[in-house]
Structure 1
Amino acid sequence: GAMARKELSSLEELFRHYGVRYMTLTKMVEMGFTVNTLVNMTEQELDDVIRTLVDIYRVDLLVGEKYGIKSAVRAEKRRLDELERKKLDLFVDVDGKRKADENALDTLSQ
């Protein structure tokens, strides 16, 4: 359905530069994986996903794909952490400015 297509295209986006084949991505979507679930997994859980793909779903993973899956997820985690930090920095700046404005108003009103 539309949902699966959406998940597939976001997985394609995630793994684009990491040599993970379309067939592998399709299988991951069938297994119910999304970018979100993968990014929230530990290394151990990712290893289990890869093992499941190979042992249970009989996906013939290339060596490069195993590394690709893990590298892509790691890179995405870093990117999200970076975004989170930027957001926090933004709030700090905004609050800092707001405080400065209040002080200016106090000075004016005195």
Structure 2
Amino acid sequence: MSDTKALERLRKKLTIENLWLYIIKIMMDEAKPLKAYDLKVKLRERFEINPPAVTVYTVIYRMNREGLLVKRVVKEETFYEPTNKGIEAFKQGVLFIEETLAKLKI
């Protein structure tokens, strides 16, 4: 059975368009700073989300600007880790999704 266009849009909205949730989740689980490339690989491995590299980098840069991530440069390599603000935003985002799901359940 093929997906409807509506279901395809929903999947995109809950994955690609909200990568920040998945990125924070990976970082919280890994409990160590990660490179942007490593995050892209883990998105594919753990969540079966395979966005273009430019999308991942754009989201990471935006998250850094918004204070959800902090950037660290070690020996010319750039790593990112979540801030307390980022972890709190993640928790609020998951709570919002849970509340929305509870309202939609049959």
Please report the TM-score for the alignment, with normalisation by the length of structure 2: 0.32
Relative contact order, CA 8 A, sep 6+: which one is greater?
Answer: 1
Asked which structure has the greater CA Rg, the reply is: 1
Which structure shows the bigger proportion of residues in strand conformation?
A: 2
Looking at secondary structure, tell me which structure has more helix per residue. 1
User: TM-score with structure 1 length normalisation?
Assistant: 0.31
